[in-house]
Structure 1
Amino acid sequence: MSGRKSSHSSGNGGQCVEVASNLPGVVAVRDSKDPDGGKLFFSPDEWRAFLAGAKTGKFDL
């Protein structure tokens, strides 16, 4: 899986999220520090809904 890392990721082992959007019909998400660990898979519509909610603060604690 090749993808983009979060702009908030740092080179010192901080929290790193990597998103692959180059897979047909799916958006894959993983912890870039653990590339062989678990992965989450979303449809493009699910991913867009998640991003919209995150941008509006829907998931803020």
Structure 2
Amino acid sequence: MPPIKKIVLWLVVIFLLYAIFTSPDQAAAIFGAAWDIVSTGVQNIARFFDSLIRR
């Protein structure tokens, strides 16, 4: 990995840890919302393929 990518990766990790420790409630809400989006997307993809198979 080039040095710039490592530096950016470490900065992102440090920022995420800072955000979690300074505001855990808000971080949990953001994670919950992101999980809901991913979960809904996976369900919709499953429905799509299920409808393709049933035809």
TM-score by length of 2: 0.35
Rg larger for: 2
Q: Which has the higher contact order (CA 8 A, sep 6+)?
A: 1
Q: Which has the higher helix share?
A: 2
Q: Which has the higher strand share?
A: 1
TM-score by length of 1: 0.33
